[in-house]
Amino acid sequence: MDKREHFGGRMAVIMAMAGSAIGLGNIWRFPYMAGQNGGAAFILIYIVCSFVLSLPIFLSEAVIGRRSHSNAIGAMKVLSPKTKWRLLGYLSVITPMIIVSYYTIVGGWSVEYFLHSFSLNFGSFVPTGWTVLAFSTVFLALSCIIVALGVKSGIERFSKISIPLLFVLIVVIVVYSVNMPGASKGVDYLLKPDFSKVTGRTFAYALGQSFYSLSLGMGIIITYSSYIRKEENLVVSGMGTAVADLMFAMLAGFAIIPAVFSAGIEPGAGPGLIFETLPFVFSNMGASHHWIGVMISALFFLTVIIAAMTSSISLIEVGVAYLVEEKHFKRGWASLCVFLFTWILGLVSVFSNEAFGIIDAFSSNILLTIGAFIAVLFVGWKMDKEEIRDEITSGGKVNGKVFGLLYFLIRYVAPLAVLTIFVTNFIL
Which residues in this chain contact ligand PFF in the complex, by CB under 6 A? 20-21, 23-26, 96, 99, 212-213, 215, 218, 220, 311, 314-315
Within 8 A by CB and 6+ apart from 283, the residues are 120, 121, 122, 293
Distance between first and last Cα of the chain:
51
C-alpha 263/C-alpha 110 separation (Å) is 21
Is 106 buried (19+), middle (13-18) or exposed (0-12) by CB count in 10 A? Answer: buried
**Distance in Å, CB of 50 to ligand PFF, minimum:** 12
- Residue with Cβ nearer ligand PFF (246 or 414): 246
**Distance in Å, CB of 192 to ligand PFF, minimum:** 25
Contact 175, 251 (CB under 8 A): no
- Residue with Cβ nearer ligand PFF (70 or 314): 314
DSSP 318-359: HHHHHHHHHS---HHHHHHHHHHHHHHHHHHHHH-HHHHHHH
Rounding to the nearest 10 degrees, give the CA dihedral for residues 278, 280, 284, 289: 60
Q: How many degrees, rounded to 5, is the angle at CA 387 between CA 381 and CA 392?
A: 100
Amino acid found at 114: F
**Distance in Å, CB of 16 to ligand PFF, minimum:** 12
- Residue with Cβ nearer ligand PFF (106 or 295): 106
- Residue with Cβ nearer ligand PFF (345 or 398): 345
**Distance in Å, CB of 141 to ligand PFF, minimum:** 18
**Distance in Å, CB of 185 to ligand PFF, minimum:** 26
C-alpha 337/C-alpha 323 separation (Å) is 9
- Residue with Cβ nearer ligand PFF (220 or 406): 220
Q: What are phi and psi of 194, to 5 degrees?
A: -135, 95
**Distance in Å, CB of 96 to ligand PFF, minimum:** 5
Contact 192, 40 (CB under 8 A): yes
- Residue with Cβ nearer ligand PFF (24 or 410): 24
- Residue with Cβ nearer ligand PFF (41 or 222): 222
**Distance in Å, CB of 101 to ligand PFF, minimum:** 12
